[in-house]
Chain A
Amino acid sequence: MTKLALPERILMNIDKPARYIGNEVNIVKKDLSNIDIRIAMCFPDVYEIGMSYLGLQILYDMFNKREDTYCERVFSPWPDLDKIMREEDIKLFTLETQSPIMDMDMLGITIQYEMCYTNILQILELSGMPLYSKDRTKDMPIVIGGGPCTVNPEPIADFFDMFYIGEGETSYDELLELIKTYKSTDMDKEDFLRRASNIPGIYVPSMHMISYNPDGTVQEISTKYDDIPKTIKRQVVTDFSQVSYPLAPVVPYIKATQDRVCLEIMRGCIRGCRFCQAGMIYRPTRQKDVEMLKKYARAMLDNTGYEEISLSSLSSSDYESLDEVLTYLISLKDEDHVNVSLPSLRIDAFSLDVMSKVQDIRKSSLTFAAEAGTQRLRNVINKGITEEDILNGSRQAFIGGWDKVKLYFMLGLPTENEQDLLGIAELAEKISEEYFDAVPKEKRNGRVMINASASYFVPKPFTPFQWAPMILPEEFTKRAYYVKDSFMKQKNKKSLKFTYHDAYISILEGVLARGDRRLSKTIYDVYKKGAIFDAWTEYFDMDKYKDTFAQNNVDIEFYTARERQVTEILPWDHIDAGVSKNFLIKEWERAKNETVTPNCRMNCSGCGSATYGGGVCFEAKN
């Protein structure tokens, strides 16, 4: 059995020591003497969050299928252990062999949300390596980032040797071969990075130079050598049914956030909501074969022992064989006590029937992501759900026995006006009226509850709203109060509830999402002042950020509140995420004109993703 990196007295004095001991069911064990490439895959947040992330399990499985490679896992030490490691100079280690990160050839960090940026620096520092890529030498692991935030990795570009843009299943073999050569010959780091830049999807920030205009916008993005590609194209799996999938994922001992089998049924989304980055950067929509999914579900349940399974996709109702998959999963419930956790489905007769079979109606609630309060604004954001859909769906559900509805909205969407704000409370009110109309008095059990919640809209790169201003936090709070007030004026106000999110986390997210390379200094400084786990409200300290932005002469509103011109060079213009800039400009115009764009199955909008040669773009032609 492995000797642990942490001694007894430390493990017994920290919260959940099981986060750090490895040894879980289905971990991969290898003889190190046969290994050429050692990889640590990192999710820069606490173990329970990181272990819930499907992408990490996919890459772990994929890397370990290579005989010459051993991929281990590492997560962010919780602040209690972080403190002890700094006091006692204990170096960060992998879970599988409990080896120092510094012994690895590559450290892969998946970057799922902007609020983990300081945790990335924590990982590097606790590993014992310099934070800036330029200060790291050949004997240290190559630090590579991946995940959705890497479509604009500029604010953290200086900390990484390279980024892998896109889906990991395609280009890693080529990179691993290059790493093998680099580590076993006298190739220097500069030469290695230059060669890596020529692998599809690999972005080496040090090979791209950025200059700025006097007004702070980007003047030019140039390459260091002539052979460096000017743009980096996001990598996409085209043959989605043949792609590697972990049939025996690692099963944590402690309860992870996602404590169930996760079955990915589809990648990408046909809908084209204009605020949604995932819906743009995972194009084209690709579906998995339903027969294969059934086999996978059975195998994963057998290999893990989980008693629950959930489906993963951006919009499960758009998966064409959803009926068949769900019917199969419900059969497993009856014969094998498998709980089925449903994703949010479009509410119709079929989904209500499925829900009534797998959920306790009395305890569960229906969810509508309405996003905006009026049809006008829903047209602006291209959210293809109508008031009629919501009211009919609710009515059917109320007749079926449900009496709780959740509604999600965003505040601060482009063109939002007073009528849109009022519309939020009015929609909630209309839903409650459907209840009183559809359910006779003697059948009512307690009170119907409509819970609406609003988040603060953050414009993201590679969406048609990447040029849009974000409203100021004071304005967000004002609008949230206004909505709250209008809820109080409704007839059924006792059945309606409105809550909204904290404004400041979204502001920081807004700065980092559309930030440029100059922000790395602020991230470095705020980390040095002790900021970590910013995604956790109990640790997030906006004042620390505000001070540090001020000290670095960074104007928050330059990044958040400014409307960008479509002619402006954006800090992420050298990344090609698949959707073309022309398409995004066209969509930005259509948004302002309140024009809806049909979904990918109805009509191709020529977004540019057809160049990948797969998925929904070619479905009709098969």
Chain B
Amino acid sequence: MKLRIKYEKTGVLRFIGHLDVMRLFQKAIRRAKLDVAYSKGFSPHQIISFAAPMPLGMTSEGEYFDGDFESVTSTEDMINRFNATLPDGVKVHDIVILDEGAKPSMSVVTASDYYIYKNEECENDYLNKLIASIDTFSLEPKIEILKKTKTKEEISDIKPAIYKLEARPEGIYMLLASGSALNLKPELVIEALCKFSGVEYNRYDYMVHRLETYMGEKDNLKSLIEAGKRF
């Protein structure tokens, strides 16, 4: 049975890398005595796969992984068993059985939305300036940034990958393209907004929190959890 598990990763666990999160869940599944399926062969491993890897430093309440299970109880029971053994900062929110033919989470992601807020350790109040300039920034026909890769630098227009950009009382909301077809990191939007507002960009002035991961077309986005049903 293929399950999809939605979880949050917050607090100090933002400093745990993607591979370590996978290891954390592999151990949690064993502690919780959940009946996960193992691969065949000499050193069997749990059949689980994660959606988008999360960059170090980001928190999220919309992360996903898929797993094959030999048997299941109920959504509620499995959530409780996970959460009884997970450390502070990681919490399972929902579990569904994937519909017949559902594709792996990794391959269906098309968008994510984020909430950007001030890092309490930083002293300046640039964020308010950024919030104030969102409306005019959004009117720009093109938002060009210098993208650096290992081999080259190129100017790229990120505007097509910004689906929504809105001011919120204490921060900024943004819905961005995500996944293999088109992908935009929220940091690049903040950087562009800083440049536009004439504010010095410093990554650690801001905290980035992912709210949800989506699949589907731009104008018909659905949460990844909608690919299955509770049980």
Task: Give the B-binding residues of A (Cβ under 8 A).
Answer: 1-2, 4, 7-9, 11-12, 17-18, 21-25, 251, 253-255, 301-307, 337, 339, 360
Contacts and interface: CB of A to CB of B under 8 A. Distances in A.
Contacts of B89: 1, 23
A303 B11 CA distance: 23
A305 B26 contact: yes
Contacts of A12: 56-57, 203-204
Interface in B28-77: 28-31, 33, 38, 42-44, 56-57
Contacts of B13: 21, 23, 253
B88 to A, nearest CB: 6
A18 B16 contact: yes
A253 B204 contact: no
A23 B88 contact: yes
Contacts of A23: 11-13, 87-89
Nearest to A7: B121
B216 interface: no
A253 B57 contact: no
Nearest to A4: B12
B28 A8 contact: no
A2 B24 contact: no
Nearest to A1: B11
A255 B23 contact: yes
A271 B221 CA distance: 69
Interface in B2-37: 11-13, 15-17, 20, 23-24, 26-31, 33
A355 to B, nearest CB: 13
B223 interface: no
Nearest to B27: A305
A339 B203 CA distance: 43
Contacts of B27: 25, 251, 304-307
B16 A305 contact: no
B119 interface: yes
A337 B30 CA distance: 10
Nearest to A308: B43
Top 3 closest A-B pairs, CB basis?
A: A305-B27, A305-B30, A9-B204
B31 A304 contact: yes
B12 A337 contact: no
Given A1-B12, A21-B13, A253-B16, 4 more contacts: A9-B204, A18-B15, A21-B15, A253-B13
A303 B31 CA distance: 6
A50 to B, nearest CB: 17
A303 B28 CA distance: 10
Contacts of B119: 8
Nearest to B38: A337
21 contacts: A1-B88, A2-B12, A8-B119, A8-B121, A12-B56, A21-B12, A22-B12, A23-B12, A23-B88, A25-B85, A253-B13, A253-B24, A254-B17, A302-B33, A305-B27, A305-B28, A305-B30, A306-B27, A307-B26, A337-B44, A360-B42
A370 B99 CA distance: 60
A253 B20 contact: yes
B29 to A, nearest CB: 7
Contacts of B20: 18, 253-255
Interface string B88-110: 11000000000000000000000
A536 B228 CA distance: 51
A184 B20 CA distance: 43
A130 B44 CA distance: 52
A5 B33 CA distance: 35
A24 B87 contact: yes
B114 to A, nearest CB: 17
Contacts of A2: 12
Contacts of A303: 31
A305 B29 contact: yes
A18 B15 CA distance: 6
A8 B204 contact: yes
B131 to A, nearest CB: 20
A25 B89 CA distance: 11
A12 B85 CA distance: 27
Contacts of A22: 12
A88 B28 CA distance: 38
Given A11-B15, A12-B204, A339-B43, A25 B87 contact: yes
A302 B30 CA distance: 7
A8 B207 CA distance: 9
B87 A17 contact: no
Contacts of B15: 11, 17-18, 21
A261 to B, nearest CB: 11
Nearest to B42: A360
Contacts of A304: 27, 31
A307 B31 contact: no
Centre residue among A21, A255, A339 by max chain B CB count within 10 A: A21
A472 to B, nearest CB: 46
B2 to A, nearest CB: 19
A8 B57 contact: yes
Nearest to B43: A339
Contacts of A301: 30
Nearest to B39: A337
A60 to B, nearest CB: 17
Nearest to A361: B42
Nearest to A362: B42
A304 B32 CA distance: 10
B75 to A, nearest CB: 22
Contacts of B85: 25, 305
Nearest to B11: A1
Centre residue among A7, A251, A303, A305 by max chain B CB count within 10 A: A305
A307 B30 CA distance: 8
A7 B204 CA distance: 9
A4 to B, nearest CB: 6
A556 B129 CA distance: 65
Contacts of B24: 25, 253
Nearest to B87: A25
A18 B87 CA distance: 14
A307 B46 CA distance: 10
Contacts of B203: 12
Contacts of B11: 1, 23
Contacts of A17: 15, 56
A23 B13 CA distance: 8
A22 B16 CA distance: 11
Contacts of B42: 360
B122 to A, nearest CB: 8
A360 B43 CA distance: 9
A254 B13 CA distance: 12
B118 to A, nearest CB: 12
Nearest to B206: A8
A251 B31 CA distance: 12
Contacts of A307: 26-27, 30
B42 to A, nearest CB: 5
B17 A302 contact: no
A88 B67 CA distance: 45
Contacts of A7: 121, 204
B100 to A, nearest CB: 28
Contacts of A11: 15, 57
Contacts of A255: 20, 23
B194 to A, nearest CB: 16
Nearest to A25: B87
Nearest to A358: B42
